[in-house]
């Protein structure tokens, strides 16, 4: 794989646009192999793409329960997602025959964070009911319950040994998965956000930093060991109060974010400087942006899905 440097990042252009959705795409997830991408939309469609061929593979409808926060699970052709209708149950879906394998009931308000362990069949969910729940895909029963003081965001570290919970847009609590019932082993107190809420949390692949995305025009990078603020990324537009996703490149060196003006903004994670703004003619706000974990491609989504590739031949 060619190395990601500023010159390569600036050369990214949209190679393929898909216009299958009639409403905004609210969540995307690459498979760990990078070969496929799954998306879900407010039009209740789940779409799976082949990243190597640049084609759409499967479309599944979730009309009854709606769909948000979709994630591939480790088993082939399966995914979990939160519901937007009926109730706040999390659902485990077999994609090839569009059948539900299992339901995970428990949350009493909208689920706003969902993350899958990178190493095993467990996952975390957090809700506006101010709880964080730990689950095992093999059982409908909640494996662990944490009561929090506010809206949560959550993420597993790359080894799947600890998880982080961002609470109330002001503190990050780290838990050991083997003893989470003892409470967090460390809490980092940050300045409370005045203008916006934390809506996403991700560890860098090297495990050294955490990226906090918001429903405002601000993204924060925090040291994962000490909780010290490292960078604040701004300059992208979010005047709609939507949870715009921010993502790392696989080498943890770059930060990508969508914006309500339909462009992708890129910063250097170490220095904080803006590398470029990529214009892909998105007609609506870009809520989702992720870099492929294995291949040199980027995906961004508004109502359309765009696949980006570098246009430099070799660097």
DSSP calls for 224-249: TTT--EEEEE--S---S-----EEE-
- Token code pair at residue 162: 């600890």
pLDDT in tens, 204-243: 999 999 999 999 999 999 999 999 999 999 989 898 889 9
Residues in the chain with pLDDT values less than 70: 1, 313-315
CA distance 5 to 48: 29
* pLDDT value at residue 152: 95
Please name every residue paired with 267 in a beta bridge, in sequence order, or none if there are none. 255, 274
- What are the backbone dihedrals phi and psi of residue 148, each rounded to the nearest 5 degrees, phi first? -120, 170
Q: According to the model, what pLDDT value does residue 82 have?
A: 86
Tokens for 49?
């793409």
Contact 187, 172 (CB under 8 A): yes
The backbone torsions φ and ψ at residue 180, rounded to the nearest 5 degrees and listed phi first, read -65, -25
175 by DSSP, 3-state: which?
strand
- List phi, psi (to 5°) of 255: -115, 130
Helix (H) or strand (E) segment spanning residue 10: helix 6-10
Pairing, β 263-268 against β 131-136:
unpaired
Instruction: Check residue 315 and give its pLDDT.
Output: 47
Three-class DSSP category at 162: strand
Nearest to 175 by CA among 133, 140, 223, 213: 133
DSSP secondary structure, 55-83, as one string: EEEEEEE-TTT--EEEEE-SSTTEEEEE-
Q: Output the pLDDT for position 180.
A: 86
- Predicted local confidence at residue 313, as pLDDT: 66
pLDDT at position 1, please?
58
């Amino acid at each position: 794989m060619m190395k990601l440097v500023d010159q390569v990042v600036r050369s990214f252009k949209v190679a393929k646009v898909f216009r299958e959705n009639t409403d905004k795409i609210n969540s995307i997830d690459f498979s760990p192999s990078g070969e496929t991408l799954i998306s879900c939309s407010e039009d209740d469609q789940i779409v799976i793409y082949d990243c190597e061929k640049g084609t759409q593979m499967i479309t599944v409808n979730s009309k009854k329960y709606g769909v948000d926060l979709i994630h591939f699970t480790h088993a082939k052709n399966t995914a979990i997602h939160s519901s937007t209708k009926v109730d706040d149950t999390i659902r485990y879906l077999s994609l090839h025959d569009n059948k539900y394998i299992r339901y995970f009931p428990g949350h009493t308000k909208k689920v706003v964070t969902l993350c899958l362990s990178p190493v095993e069949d467990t996952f975390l969910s957090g809700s506006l009911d101010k709880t964080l729940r730990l689950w095992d895909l093999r059982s409908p029963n909640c494996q662990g319950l944490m009561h929090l003081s506010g809206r949560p965001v959550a993420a597993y570290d790359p080894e799947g040994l600890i998880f982080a919970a961002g609470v109330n847009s002001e503190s990050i609590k780290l838990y050991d998965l083997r003893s989470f019932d003892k409470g967090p082993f460390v809490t980092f107190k940050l300045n409370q956000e005045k203008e916006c809420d934390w809506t996403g949390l991700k560890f860098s692949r090297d495990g050294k930093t955490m990226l906090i995305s918001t429903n405002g025009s601000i993204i924060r990078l925090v040291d994962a060991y000490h909780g010290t603020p490292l960078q604040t990324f701004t300059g992208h537009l979010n005047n709609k109060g939507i949870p715009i996703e921010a993502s790392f490149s696989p080498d943890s060196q770059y930060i990508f974010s969508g914006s309500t003006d339909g462009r992708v903004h890129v910063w250097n994670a170490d220095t904080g400087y803006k590398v470029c703004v990529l214009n892909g003619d998105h007609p609506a706000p870009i809520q989702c942006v992720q870099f492929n974990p294995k291949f040199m491609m980027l995906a961004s989504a508004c109502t359309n899905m765009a696949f980006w590739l570098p246009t430099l031949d070799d660097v």
